[in-house]
Chains A and B, each alone.
Chain A
Amino acid sequence: MKFSLLSLARNAVSGQTAGPAQWRSPQPRAVYDVVIVGAGGHGLATAYYLAKEHGIRNVAVLDRGWLGGGNTGRNTTIIRSNYLWDESARLYDHAHRMWETLAQELNYNVMFSPRGVMMLAHNVHDEQVVRRHIHANRGNGVENEWLSPEQAKAFCPPLNISSDMRYPILGAALQRRGGTARHDAVAWGYARAASAMGVDILQNCEVQAIDRDATGRAIAVETSRGRIAAGKIGVVAAGHTSVVMAMAGLRMPLESYPLQALVSEPVKPCFPCVVMSNTIHAYLSQSYKGELVIGAGTDAYVSYSQAGGLHISAHTLDAICELFPMFRRMRMLRNWGGIVDVTPDRSPVIGLTPVPGLFVNCGWGTGGFKATPGSGHVFAHTIATGTPHPIAAPFSLERFRTGRLIDEAAAAAVAH
């Protein structure tokens, strides 16, 4: 059923407000052309584009829990594409362009809100880094502009630009078409659209082993719901990628860290945009419900606990209170953690693996949400054709052998 205002109104009048199930909950089949491991945004998008653009509909998306329950539903939903390196800018801007029409594409309102993402510079080095980004971005056709402190405050009135802060604001980079989206809706929208094209979404279906044939090719997954044979397997398991890949005997250039985020109690609209400060670790926007949505940092150690230390949240809240001193009396309502898989160069890995038939899309670290549509799109191409999509090609596992890293961390202290 197509969602429309009319259909909603009709249902409202008839008292039948529930539509049919947004996605099917089928029993696993014995064989699929492609099995995607991980029903987060990236995995579901991969399945969607496999079906839509490559005609591969005999696809299953497996998840050990519920779809969208990992980092897709736990992040602070920042969307931007002003990355430094050409390869990154191409990848993230590919995704960014897709966000702009995603609601219509999926017939599901993902509430992409291009309210502007502003990244603060607090010292001379920050300013050099930010300006380098702006120049590189412009060359790549990615809008990004420099704002003086006064311009930054005009764009975001709560911002404290006084010079007697510990780390005063020297300026900011603004990507006006950056913004946020409703994270759960992205997963649900892709799930609904993929399911409608025949993709089976198998929740509570934990992969326990990857079977390989005599040639070493990955041919099936053993799951908590039985063995499922697959022509190809794509692993899109975010924080759990190392765990899944170990089933195929592979070690990955990944470490998994807890990443915390938190929201305040909801208040009336008071914060118009997204503000990020990599230097003092503050990431803030306001949700449609009115909560201040705040990203905190990762803990310092590898962990799958989905929980972190109070000092991590405290370190972010003190920065928020310095940048926006009027929010000091606001209250933290809910804090949660995700597990992010981080690569040595803070750039993702998308592509083939040493195991034939096994593909991987991982390493998005703290910033994968923004790439969801583009990631799924290029990964679907990579799986369908067996060759990396041109945009994905630089993000191969091979780069760790050759040394051709795409080091966004070195370029910006922290990649988000």
Chain B
Amino acid sequence: MLLIPCPHCGARPENEFRNAGEAHIARPAEADDAAWADYLYMRTNPKGVFIERWRHIHGCGRFFNCVRHTVTDRIIATYKAGDPRPSLDVLRAWSEHAR
């Protein structure tokens, strides 16, 4: 049972949330079949720092983004949906920290 810091409500136990998969996957306006398959099905699934979406479904109801290390499950940061993806340098620094 993770303790997830909702950017709107603060830290709450995982059972208040629903995971919504990899973040920052843009829905293409135009796509050939291969690009559309990428959008629908292909995932980074990294072993390491991962940006995913959660919804505080039994709380404020908001979707937000979460940076988590998938080996330690340690949550490094959360930020609101729509906020820009952290830069690679920032992610790299976080990755060291969370290992």
- Judge whether B37 and A255 touch: CB under 8 Å: no
Stretch at the interface among A23-31, A115-123, A296-304: A296-304
- Judge whether A251 and B73 touch: CB under 8 Å: no
Q: A252-B42, A301-B52, A302-B22 are in contact. List 7 more A-B contacts (CB 8 A).
A: A246-B46, A251-B38, A253-B42, A255-B43, A304-B47, A305-B70, A311-B15
- Judge whether A309 and B2 touch: CB under 8 Å: yes
Question: Does B85 sit at the interface, judged by CB under 8 A?
Answer: no
CB interface residues, B 5-39, toward A, < 8 Å: 14-15, 18-19, 21-22, 33-34, 37-38
Q: A301-B68, A304-B70 are in contact. Are A242 and B33 (CB under 8 A)?
A: no
- Judge whether A243 and B47 touch: CB under 8 Å: yes
Question: Does A256 sit at the interface, judged by CB under 8 A?
Answer: yes
- Judge whether B45 and A242 touch: CB under 8 Å: yes
- Judge whether A400 and B52 touch: CB under 8 Å: no
Q: A309-B2, A311-B1, A402-B33 are in contact. Are A301 and B19 (CB under 8 A)?
A: yes
Per-residue 0/1 for A175-211: is the Cβ within 8 Å of any B Cβ (1 yes, 0 no)? 0000000000000000000000000000000000000
- Judge whether A344 and B68 touch: CB under 8 Å: no
**How long is the Cα–Cα vector from A246 to B68 in the complex, in angstroms?**
19
- Judge whether B19 and A300 touch: CB under 8 Å: yes
- Judge whether A304 and B19 touch: CB under 8 Å: no
| Residues of chain A lying within 8 A (CB to CB) of residue B50 | 302
A contact set with B: CB distance below 8 Å = 240, 242-243, 246, 251-256, 300-305, 307, 309-311, 341, 344, 400-402
| Residues of chain B lying within 8 A (CB to CB) of residue A305 | 70-73
**How long is the Cα–Cα vector from A182 to B52 in the complex, in angstroms?**
37
Q: How far is the CB of A208 from chain B (nearest CB, A)?
A: 13
From A243, A251, A301, A311, B42 is in contact (CB under 8 Å) with A251
Question: Does B87 sit at the interface, judged by CB under 8 A?
Answer: no
Q: How far is the CB of A408 from chain B (nearest CB, A)?
A: 16
Question: Does B88 sit at the interface, judged by CB under 8 A?
Answer: no
From B19, B33, B41, B70, A253 is in contact (CB under 8 Å) with B41
| Residues of chain B lying within 8 A (CB to CB) of residue A240 | 47
B contact set with A: CB distance below 8 Å = 1-2, 14-15, 18-19, 21-22, 33-34, 37-38, 40-47, 50, 52, 68, 70-73
Q: Residue of B at shortest CB range from A245?
A: B45
Q: Residue of A at shortest CB range from B36?
A: A401
**How long is the Cα–Cα vector from A305 to B72 in the complex, in angstroms?**
6
- Judge whether A251 and B37 touch: CB under 8 Å: no
From A246, A256, A300, A400, B40 is in contact (CB under 8 Å) with A400
| Residues of chain A lying within 8 A (CB to CB) of residue B70 | 256, 302-305
From B42, B43, B73, A303 is in contact (CB under 8 Å) with B73
Q: A309-B1, A400-B37 are in contact. Are A242 and B73 (CB under 8 A)?
A: no
A selection of 5 A-B contacts at a CB cut-off of 8 Å is: A243-B47, A251-B44, A255-B45, A305-B71, A311-B15
Q: How far is the CB of A133 from chain B (nearest CB, A)?
A: 25
**How long is the Cα–Cα vector from A303 to B71 in the complex, in angstroms?**
6
Instruction: Report which residue of B19, B37, B41 has the largest number of chain A beta carbons within 10 angstroms of its beta carbon.
Output: B41
**How long is the Cα–Cα vector from A264 to B2 in the complex, in angstroms?**
25
| Residues of chain B lying within 8 A (CB to CB) of residue A254 | 43, 45
**How long is the Cα–Cα vector from A251 to B52 in the complex, in angstroms?**
16
- Judge whether B41 and A400 touch: CB under 8 Å: yes
**How long is the Cα–Cα vector from A300 to B15 in the complex, in angstroms?**
10
Q: Residue of B at shortest CB range from A243?
A: B47
| Residues of chain A lying within 8 A (CB to CB) of residue B46 | 242-243, 246
Q: How far is the CB of A404 from chain B (nearest CB, A)?
A: 11
- Judge whether A344 and B41 touch: CB under 8 Å: yes
| Residues of chain B lying within 8 A (CB to CB) of residue A252 | 42-43, 45
- Judge whether A344 and B40 touch: CB under 8 Å: yes
**How long is the Cα–Cα vector from A305 to B1 in the complex, in angstroms?**
13
Instruction: Report which residue of A309, A311, A344, A401 has the largest number of chain B beta carbons within 10 angstroms of its beta carbon.
Output: A401
**How long is the Cα–Cα vector from A341 to B43 in the complex, in angstroms?**
11
Q: How far is the CB of A272 from chain B (nearest CB, A)?
A: 35
**How long is the Cα–Cα vector from A252 to B47 in the complex, in angstroms?**
13
**How long is the Cα–Cα vector from A309 to B21 in the complex, in angstroms?**
18
| Residues of chain B lying within 8 A (CB to CB) of residue A304 | 47, 70-71
| Residues of chain B lying within 8 A (CB to CB) of residue A303 | 70-71, 73
**How long is the Cα–Cα vector from A300 to B57 in the complex, in angstroms?**
14
Q: How far is the CB of A242 from chain B (nearest CB, A)?
A: 4
Q: How far is the CB of B14 from chain A (nearest CB, A)?
A: 7
- Judge whether B41 and A255 touch: CB under 8 Å: no
| Residues of chain B lying within 8 A (CB to CB) of residue A246 | 44, 46
| Residues of chain A lying within 8 A (CB to CB) of residue B52 | 301-302
